[in-house]
Structure 1
Amino acid sequence: LRGAIVNVSSRAAEIGGGGEWVHYAATKGALNTLTTGLAREVALEGIRVNAVAAGLIETELHAAAGKPDRAARMAPGIPMGRAGLPEEVAQSVAWLVSPSAGYVTAAIVAVAGGR
């Protein structure tokens, strides 16, 4: 067997989501644990398991949660000064499944503008 699994996690797993999305952060923390543990279980089978921990990304998630201005409101608190784009997360996933990341496993890659 050979393959690559990329889980989509969140920086909320490390930040905690206090005051907003603690339940969301907790599930992403569990996903990070799954990523690390599964990566170690299946490495000898040629399967790499990683995660992308997205930060504040401009998606409809904020509006669906009743906070359509959340990304713009929080952007000044991000070191890069802006929310990320879905394409930036997708490009990181594409790299992790590519041969260029052939020796990367059990990694949780932050795509979060420094936050």
Structure 2
Amino acid sequence: MWKHRSSWRDRGPAGRIGRYGLIYLFAFQLVLPLLGPAMDVFLLYGMFVADAPHAITIWLLFLAIQTAGAGYALHLDGGVLASTVGLPLQQVVHRQLTYPVVIQSVVTAIHGAQLK
């Protein structure tokens, strides 16, 4: 995102795409991955400590929305919808693997160090 920061000020179609692209990157590659651990902690807290019966329902709804979005993207791309069957399990496992990467990237960006 940082290397494309100047596209925010560009004019014309390139600037419009840059602005939309940066907003998309900020939302889906930074904010949502950073909120993922909080969601998992709240889920576990709601299930085991707070005895919140709706915690698992909300979590399953979240997974269903992700699966529906992936299914729609596959439909638009002409892909096979049967490949979305394993997506909820993959999301659970993949999310745990992305936490350290996202956290390290944010800490590195805050410190101003460049990755080589």
Asked if these proteins are the same fold (TM beyond 0.5), I'd say no
Point out the structure with max Rg over C-alpha. Answer: 2
Higher helix content, 1 or 2: 2
TM-score, scaled to structure 2:
0.31
Higher strand content, 1 or 2: 1
